[in-house]
């Protein structure tokens, strides 16, 4: 018998009882659908985590001030100035693993235009800060070296601030705003950055040259850097080594002996992002494994129904053997029926799984990442389940005695 004849007979047998065939394949449909939906949603969640952390910066380390202690009461990191401008210069010049290092000095105050005002964060930075955070200027120009040297009163606005002061879609370049009563000219508008993993609106901020911040906004503290230092490594693989070099350099500069704790804090956002991705991957694997159990359950259902089918069709098998069908032909027919059930269930489950993933991704606002290999794996596994669980009923049918089969009532 040709393969096409075997398939034709298999589909004809399955079509005799459509409802039973559908219920038999339901376990496969659910298993494949759940498996694909969970993996696709997991990949989308992983991509969302990567996107959220990449928006914070590339290969980013954040160095914060130390903690204060007074009469047994300890403040958090940042409450005691311990970093200096000389520390920043040393990081920039003495660590070859550092691509860029930039200060971040920040306060919260009102920014006033001609008709509106908005309270937001005012941040003093250098041009390297935007390189570290992958944050381009979408309109106008960024700070120039002359702005940094002369402490020019220029400002870059985030998209949220532009919308609050001038309206959606307005061109703020060239406008004047007042910060703490001082006029600043808007030279550029930052590209939209979105939210942090904690829900902070990155675009709700304005930026001025760090020299202008020190002379016009901050005052005091002399050589102490009243803020944080953003450090960008050359690659994610070098971030851990850069963190170690950074700690050693600052401990040496701050004359800290081996048993003394750091008087600063270094936050490695690359490690945080990796931990988040690992957690997402573990959860996706767990959910996909649970979904895969449905495939096994579906395979048991196929074997059960095929055994019933063998019993019901014993006389038919005897007639086929009497007219010349060989055991291998009977084996092929019942195996083809089991394989057809599992493959059709797998295809239907794949379609339903992709549809479910699309709906969930749209609801959560996640990207939908479909890997063809995952779909192929699910379909291949469903076919394997059909073969494995359909083999025993097919062998049982092929080993029937033709005379006994013909006598079966």
Whole-number pLDDT of residue 341? 82
Q: How confident is the model at residue 305 (pLDDT cuts 50, 70, 90)?
A: confident
pLDDT at 295 over 80: no
Given a cut of 80, is residue 52 above it in pLDDT? no
Query: Is the predicted pLDDT of residue 73 greater than 50, yes or no?
Result: no
pLDDT of residue 407: 63
Q: Which of these ranges, 3-17, 104-118, 174-188, 261-275, has the smallest mean pLDDT?
A: 3-17
Is residue 105 within 8 A of residue 209, CB to CB? The reply is no
Structure confidence at residue 86 (pLDDT): 92
Question: In percent, how much of the chain has pLDDT > 70?
Answer: 83
Q: In whole angstroms, what separates CA 218 from the centre of its chain? A: 38
In this predicted structure, what is the pLDDT of residue 13? 66
pLDDT at 293 (0 to 100) = 77
Beta carbons of 216 and 203 less than 8 angstroms apart: no
Please give the pLDDT value at position 409. 56
Q: Which of 67-81, 89-103, 284-298, 304-318 has the largest mean confidence?
A: 89-103
pTM over 0.85: no
The most confident of 35-44, 70-79, 249-258, by mean pLDDT: 249-258
For residue 70, what pLDDT is reported? Answer: 46
Mean pLDDT score, 47-75: 64
pLDDT band at 74 (very low <50, low <70, confident <90, very high): very low
Note the pLDDT of residue 372: 84
Burial group, residue 145, by CB count within 10 angstroms (0-12, 13-18, 19+): exposed
Q: pLDDT higher for 302 or 92?
A: 92
Give the residue-averaged pLDDT of 385-392.
81
pLDDT band at 289 (very low <50, low <70, confident <90, very high): confident
Mean per-residue pLDDT for 330-349?
83
pLDDT of 165 strictly over 80: yes
Provide the pLDDT for residue 112: 93
pLDDT tens across 205-225, in order?
Answer: 999 999 999 888 876 556 888
pLDDT at 369: 77
Q: Could you report the per-residue pLDDT of 367-386, keeping only the tens digit for each?
A: 777 888 878 888 888 888 88
CB atoms within 10 A of CB 154: 20
Which has the minimum average pLDDT: 194-198, 266-270, 350-354?
A: 194-198
What is the average per-residue pLDDT within 339-358?
87
The confidence band for 107, taking pLDDT boundaries of 50, 70 and 90, is very high
pLDDT of residue 10: 66
* Mean pLDDT computed over every residue of the chain: 81
Q: Residue 313 pLDDT more than 90? A: no
Residue 72: per-residue pLDDT:
44
Per-residue pLDDT averaged across 132-156, rounded? 92
pLDDT at 71: 44
Average pLDDT over residues 171-188: 93
């Amino acid at each position: 018998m040709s393969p096409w004849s075997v398939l034709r007979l298999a589909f004809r047998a399955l079509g005799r009882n459509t409802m039973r065939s559908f219920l038999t394949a339901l376990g496969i449909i659910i298993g494949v659908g759940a498996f694909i939906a969970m993996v696709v949603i997991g990949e989308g969640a992983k991509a969302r985590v990567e996107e959220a952390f990449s928006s914070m910066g590339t290969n980013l380390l954040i160095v914060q001030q130390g903690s204060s202690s007074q009469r047994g009461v300890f403040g958090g990191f940042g409450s005691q100035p311990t970093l200096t401008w000389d520390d920043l210069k040393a990081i920039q010049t003495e660590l070859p693993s550092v691509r860029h290092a930039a200060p971040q000095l920040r306060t919260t105050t009102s920014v006033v235009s001609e008709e509106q005002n908005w309270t937001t964060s005012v941040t003093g930075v250098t041009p390297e800060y935007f390189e570290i955070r992958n944050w381009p200027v979408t309109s106008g120009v960024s700070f120039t070296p002359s702005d940094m040297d002369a402490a020019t009163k220029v400002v870059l606005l985030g998209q949220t601030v532009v919308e609050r002061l001038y309206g959606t879609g307005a061109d703020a370049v060239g406008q004047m705003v007042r910060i703490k009563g001082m006029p600043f000219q808007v030279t550029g508008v930052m590209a939209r950055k979105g939210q942090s993993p904690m829900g902070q609106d990155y675009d709700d901020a304005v930026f001025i040259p760090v020299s202008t911040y020190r002379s016009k906004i901050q005052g005091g503290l002399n050589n102490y850097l009243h803020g944080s230092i953003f450090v960008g490594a050359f690659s994610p693989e070098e971030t851990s080594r850069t963190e170690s070099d950074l700690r050693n350099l600052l401990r040496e500069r701050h004359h800290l002996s081996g048993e003394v704790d750091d008087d600063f804090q270094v936050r490695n956002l690359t490690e945080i992002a990796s931990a988040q991705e690992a957690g997402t991957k573990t959860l996706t694997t767990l959910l996909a494994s649970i979904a895969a159990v449905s495939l096994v359950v579906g395979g048991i259902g196929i074997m059960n129904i095929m055994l019933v089918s063998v019993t019901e069709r014993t006389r038919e098998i005897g007639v086929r053997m009497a007219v010349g069908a060989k055991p291998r032909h009977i084996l092929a027919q019942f195996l083809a029926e089991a394989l057809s059930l599992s493959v059709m269930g797998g295809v239907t489950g794949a379609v339903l799984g992709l549809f479910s993933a699309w709906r969930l991704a749209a609801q959560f606002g996640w990207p939908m990442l479909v890997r063809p290999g995952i779909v192929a794996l699910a379909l291949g596994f469903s076919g394997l389940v059909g073969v494995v669980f359909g083999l025993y009923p097919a062998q049982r049918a092929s080993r029937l005695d033709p005379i006994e089969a013909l006598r079966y009532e």
